[in-house]
A and B are shown apart, each in its own frame.
Chain A
């Protein structure tokens, strides 16, 4: 059962753009080689770090969204740790959160529909008994007679 993870890592600021692309390609192959899928790759660009990391004040942020098994992610993390230009990384599992969000969204959609449904048939429901009542009365009247 594969899970969805978000892997964010910071590359040293003195690494050129092409090198970063190469790194991303390398990590992608580790994921695909292990039977996972790289869903999205987002280069968030150069940012100021909130605190000094390995004597660097800036960093190139890269975000990968990966669908893979635990062992694949473990291997990816090992690679990240070993790769010298990567100064920091974080892996967050997001599939459960996505599921929760989808549920909330669906619930909201249903609620809206229900509100519409309630407001729509209400006049019809009111109208129905009015039309039905005379008929019943008409039927009841002969029976009484």
Chain B
């Protein structure tokens, strides 16, 4: 209880200013539909220009994690075929933003690729 009283006091102190606004909100509940109606009018004006403008005219297909969709649980370092798909030509690990792999699977993938490199299943870098 002792905890609540200071809070109330502070509330009441603050609400003395807001209490005036409180009643003003009450009466305005009648006109509120008008203001609510006014906002959507502003919204459609602003949004269409902002939304499609931000997206551009392209529609990029959302990339989904291969491991999640195909329900591949394990990412073994022995599976060279699987790992090869996530390694660039020069032997670099392809970033998540390009492949669409989720964070968890990218972490496991990275570990598997590094292990595979260690045992000479994957190259650290291509020759030359």
Q: Which A positions have Cβ atoms within 8 angstroms of B? A: 8, 10, 44, 47, 49-51, 53, 59, 63, 88-90, 92, 97, 101, 104-105
Contacts and interface: CB of A to CB of B under 8 A. Distances in A.
Dominant SS at the B interface?
loop
Dominant SS at the A interface?
strand
A10 B117 CA distance: 13
Contact of B120 (A10, A44, A63): A10
Contacts, number: 35
B120 A51 contact: yes
Given A50-B122, A51-B120, 10 more contacts: A8-B119, A10-B119, A47-B121, A50-B123, A51-B127, A53-B120, A63-B78, A92-B115, A101-B73, A104-B73
B73 A51 contact: no
A74 to B, nearest CB: 18
A90 B119 contact: yes
Interface of B: 73-74, 77-78, 115, 117-124, 127
B115 A90 contact: yes
A50 B73 contact: no
15 contacts: A8-B78, A10-B119, A44-B78, A47-B121, A49-B120, A50-B123, A51-B120, A51-B127, A89-B119, A90-B118, A90-B119, A92-B77, A97-B74, A101-B73, A101-B74
